[in-house]
A and B are shown apart, each in its own frame.
Chain A
Amino acid sequence: GAVVSQHPSRVICKSGTSVKIECRSLDFQATTMFWYRQFPKQSLMLMATSNEGSKATYEQGVEKDKFLINHASLTLSTLTVTSAHPEDSSFYICSARTGGMDYGYTFGSGTRLTVV
Chain B
Amino acid sequence: AQKITQTQPGMFVQEKEAVTLDCTYDTSDPSYGLFWYKQPSSGEMIFLIYQGSYDQQNATEGRYSLNFQKARKSANLVISASQLGDSAMYFCAMRGYSSASKIIFGSGTRLSIRP
Residues of A in contact with B (beta carbons under 8 Å apart): 32, 34, 36, 38, 41-46, 49, 57, 91, 93, 95, 97, 102-103, 105, 107, 109-110, 112
Contacts and interface: CB of A to CB of B under 8 A. Distances in A.
Interface in B15-58: 33, 35, 42-45, 47, 50, 52
Contacts of B47: 103, 105
Contacts of A43: 91, 105-108
A32 B101 contact: yes
12 contacts: A38-B43, A43-B106, A43-B108, A44-B105, A93-B45, A95-B103, A97-B101, A102-B33, A102-B52, A103-B35, A105-B35, A110-B43
B43 A103 contact: no
Given A97-B101, A103-B33, 16 more contacts: A32-B101, A34-B103, A36-B105, A43-B91, A43-B107, A43-B108, A46-B102, A46-B103, A49-B100, A95-B45, A102-B33, A102-B50, A102-B95, A103-B50, A105-B47, A112-B43
B95 to A, nearest CB: 8
Q: Which of B35, B44, B52, B102 has the most CB of A within 10 A?
A: B102
B50 A107 contact: no
Listed from nearest, the 6 A-B pairs whose CB atoms lie closest are: A103-B50, A107-B45, A110-B43, A44-B105, A43-B107, A43-B105
B108 to A, nearest CB: 5
B13 interface: no
A54 B45 CA distance: 27
